[in-house]
A and B are shown apart, each in its own frame.
Chain A
Amino acid sequence: MSEIPAELLYRESHEWVRDEGNDVVVVGISDHAQAALGDMVYVELPEPGMSYEQGDACAVVESVKAASDAYAPVSGEVIEVNTALEDSPELVNNDPYGDGWLFMVQMSKPDELEGLLSPEAYAELQED
């Protein structure tokens, strides 16, 4: 069973969101997603300053097996990306909710947080 921290919110497409206050969130992919994809070898991150709508493909995580899109869980501007992933993409496998984070977003529609999945709802989704 994969790990689903209680303090985070989730999206059906397996991104997680951590609310940092001031309408800023940190985004990554879930433990379930990293395990399904396997060993990460490359992460293509968005450019800081780019804006995305909720659901836009904005990053690509590539494992040995396959390339997979990561989607913006909320709308807004990317204000920071995890440059450590350039040399150490395996952080996404080893610490998906910590050092393996992908990017930070300054939300343009903070209400979107309410539409994301609770840890319980995300756990249920995985059971299906």
Chain B
Amino acid sequence: MNRTPLYAAHVAAGARMVNFAGWEMPINYGSQIDEHHHVRNDAGMFDVSHMTVVDIRGAEAPEFLSLLLANDVAKLQTPGKALYSCMLNESGGVLDDLIVYYMEEGWFRLVVNAATRDKGLAWLERQGAGFSIAVTEHHELAVIAVQGPHAREKVHTLLPADVAGQLAELRPFNVYMHGEWCFACTGYTGEDGYEMMLPGNEAEAFWNRLLEAGVAPCGLGARDTLRLEAGMNLYGQDMDEDVTPLVSGLAWTVAMKDDRDFTGRAALEQQKQEGVPQKLLGLILEDRGVLRPGQKVITSAGEGVTTSGSFSPTLQKAIAFARVPAKAEVSCEVEIRGKYLRARIVKPPFVRNGKACEGIL
């Protein structure tokens, strides 16, 4: 099994380790709910070094990414900007979701899911065949996400004043390079913070300094409830190769207003023309219980299914994403162990910047 450069730090902190996509990763360091609240109220950090960092370099990198990605890389007009996108197959199915960073002229960086690494790299190679580009995977980098309302200021205290000054100006979905360190104002929690890429051999020392600065180590368990509350999809659960972004709550990430050609576009055009049959929306359970992936949802317009579900520590209620008929009305039922429990369909996100979103409670 693979281990990140922070493995020893996790074990020393008493983490419960699990196998995640072939990586030995911390699921929690005690209480997953406490970790969740740390991120919502203060600052928490996640080791996400299992994620795959791939650089695309070359004069034709923009043309290549324009074909590869459903979102339009041309939106990244200057270096230092980042964009969330899906990568589709010819049938419009989602092969992966990723963030693309525009590092400098002729250099883009992709961060893709660990679980889809092999498939994704093979796809990049195939799609990139006709382009003058170089694809390089960066095993040597560690990735640490520091998230929460106090995350950025805590990171700043550990950095030289000039770097901290630059970072203080950084806007969401912007990235700042300092030597081999890359600070991106992105995340998977619905809170402010950084996703930092840094050399693996410097990761443990920095992790320990973050600990000393009062940043709480958080596991994949809290990461999952945080992203669910924040209305962010998880690849393999909320979307995969068999569904399009249009039925996965990701239509906003597909740029097809102009006539740019990208892989999967024809299939999406056709689905749009025929009418998108389903939507991925949020569910809030009104009765007692816990929503989980794969539960049947009974709506006014037919059946649907939950794709992600858990207990929301912020809302103190069970929440889920569900793929439901596009015309479903708000009130619905979820089948849990043979019982039909009352639920309400809402538009995610559930929580942003520590608070319940409008219309959620």
Contacts and interface: CB of A to CB of B under 8 A. Distances in A.
Contacts of B33: 39, 41, 64
A66 B294 CA distance: 13
A85 B311 CA distance: 16
A42 interface: yes
B31 A39 contact: yes
Given A38-B28, A39-B32, A64 B289 contact: no
A57 to B, nearest CB: 10
A62 B290 contact: yes
A42 B292 contact: no
B221 interface: yes
A121 B27 CA distance: 29
B221 A64 contact: yes
A109 interface: no
Interface residues of A, number: 13
B52 to A, nearest CB: 25
Nearest to B222: A64
A60 interface: yes
Interface string A33-46: 00000110110100
A42 B310 CA distance: 11
B75 interface: no
Interface in B266-314: 288-290, 292, 310-311, 313
**Interface size bucket, B side?**
10 to 19
A39 B225 CA distance: 12
B337 interface: yes
A42 B221 CA distance: 17
Given A38-B221, A41-B311, A42-B311, A64 B32 contact: yes
B288 A42 contact: yes
A60 B337 contact: yes
Contacts of A64: 32-33, 221, 225, 310-311, 313
A60 B290 CA distance: 11
A19 B313 CA distance: 36
30 contacts: A38-B32, A39-B31, A39-B32, A39-B33, A41-B33, A41-B290, A41-B311, A41-B318, A42-B288, A42-B290, A42-B311, A42-B318, A44-B289, A44-B337, A62-B289, A62-B290, A62-B311, A64-B32, A64-B33, A64-B221, A64-B310, A64-B311, A64-B313, A65-B27, A65-B221, A66-B292, A67-B290, A67-B292, A86-B288, A93-B31
**A-B pairs with the 10 shortest C-beta distances?**
A41-B311, A39-B33, A62-B290, A42-B290, A64-B32, A64-B311, A39-B32, A38-B32, A39-B31, A64-B310
Interface of A: 38-39, 41-42, 44, 60, 62, 64-67, 86, 93
